[in-house]
Amino acid sequence: METKTAIVQIKNLFKSYKRGSQIIPVLQDITLDIADNEFMALMGPSGSGKSTLLNLIAGIDKVDSGSVSIEGIDITSLSETELAKWRSSHVGFIFQFYNLIPVLTAFENVELPLLLTGLSRKERKEHVRMALQIVNLTDRMDHYPSQLSGGQQQRVAIARAFVSDPAILVADEPTGDLDRVSAKEILDLMERLVHELGKTIIMVTHDPRAAEKAHIIRHLDKGVLNANTQAAS
């Protein structure tokens, strides 16, 4: 059996939130390795800490203690500025509500992360066209988000997530706002990203059907990661 290298290594991670004087533990002693080119689903009831764990992996929240290493970089030691730079090239985000910028066209939304790179306008155009081609939306590139269906908006969001070629894509309930047909399209697309582009995807979901697409399913309950690793069918 082939042993894959861990692209994400989480060790003894603790995270809590303060609510007034009360400290609410959210994640407790999480240790987790995610292999390169893996599609992992993270499941659990509401409030179990799934999204918080996803945020910590993506470097958009701070740990209380423990370490999160992505591609060998301990991101807990990075400053805000360093983290912003790191995110732009290492992680792509897919959200439940797509979160496209409403005043920008599909093309411009996908181009947005590339503005932080040193790519020329022509190069950016090529990258965006290619990304939109992969999500099969080249004919809608001049449309604004309000002119697109939910599924199409999510495909634009996915194109935006991988256009800068990050190794990891994090998805928070990517099918949560979609009908069954659109959800399937999105999940198929994410599967293609893993198989054809070699991306690692970490997806938070409540939907068992969505989780079935993943290679591996991990469960969180009350901030504790279930020891059982469930291989998806």
Partner 1 sequence: MQILKLLLKNSFRHKLRTSLTVFGITIAILAFGLLRTVVSAWYAGVEASSATRLITRNSISIIFFLPLSYKEKIRQIPGVKNISYSCWFGGIYISEKNFIPNFAVDAKTVFELWPEFVLTDKQKNDFLHDRKACVAGRKIAEKYGWKIGDTITLRGTIFPGNWDFTLRGIYKGAYKSSDETQFFFHWDYLNESMKKTSPNRADQVGWYVVGVKNPDLAADVAAAIDKTFKNSLAETITETEKAFQQGFVSMTEAIVIAVRIVSFVVIIIIMAVMANTMAMTARERIGEYAIMKTLGFGEWHIAGLIFGESLIIAFTGCAFGIAATYPAANAFGDAMSTYFPIFNVQSETIYMDIAASLVVGLVAAVFPAWRAVKLSIADGLRRIG
Other CB atoms within 10 Å distance of the CB of residue 133: 12
First CA to last CA distance, the chain: 18
97 is a site residue for partner 1 (CB under 8 A):
yes
104 is a site residue for partner 1 (CB under 8 A):
yes
| In the complex, least distance from residue 127 CB atom to partner 1, rounded to whole angstroms | 13
Pick from 78, 47, 48, 49: nearest CA to 62:
78
Q: Which of 23, 24, 116, 130 binds partner 1 (CB under 8 A)?
A: 116
Q: Indicate the SS3 state at residue 116.
A: helix
112 is a site residue for partner 1 (CB under 8 A):
yes
Q: Which of 10, 34, 49, 113 binds partner 1 (CB under 8 A)?
A: 113
115 is a site residue for partner 1 (CB under 8 A):
yes
Q: Which positions from 156 through 185 interact with partner 1, judged by CB under 8 A? A: 160
Q: Which of 32, 49, 111, 175 binds partner 1 (CB under 8 A)?
A: 111
Q: Which stretch binds partner 1 (CB under 8 A): 69-77, 82-90, 186-194, 202-210?
A: 82-90
Q: Which of 8, 58, 141, 220 binds partner 1 (CB under 8 A)?
A: 58
Contact predicate 34/200, CB 8 Å: yes
| In the complex, least distance from residue 227 CB atom to partner 1, rounded to whole angstroms | 27
* CA separation for the pair 35, 219 (Å, rounded): 17
Strands ordered across the beta sheet of 22-35: 22-35, 6-19, 65-70, 73-74
* CA separation for the pair 214, 198 (Å, rounded): 14
39 is a site residue for partner 1 (CB under 8 A):
no
Instruction: Compute, in degrees rounded to 10, the torsion defined by CA atoms 12, 87, 134, 230.
Output: 10
226 is a site residue for partner 1 (CB under 8 A):
no
Pick from 208, 210, 228: nearest CA to 218:
228
Of residues 24 and 188, the one with the C-beta less far from partner 1:
24
119 is a site residue for partner 1 (CB under 8 A):
no
Pick from 106, 91, 89: nearest CA to 151:
106
* CA separation for the pair 174, 186 (Å, rounded): 8
103 is a site residue for partner 1 (CB under 8 A):
yes
Of residues 23 and 115, the one with the C-beta less far from partner 1:
115
60 is a site residue for partner 1 (CB under 8 A):
yes
Interface residues toward partner 1, by CB under 8 A: 52, 55, 58, 60-61, 80-81, 84-89, 91, 93, 95-97, 99, 101-104, 108, 111-113, 115-116, 121, 160
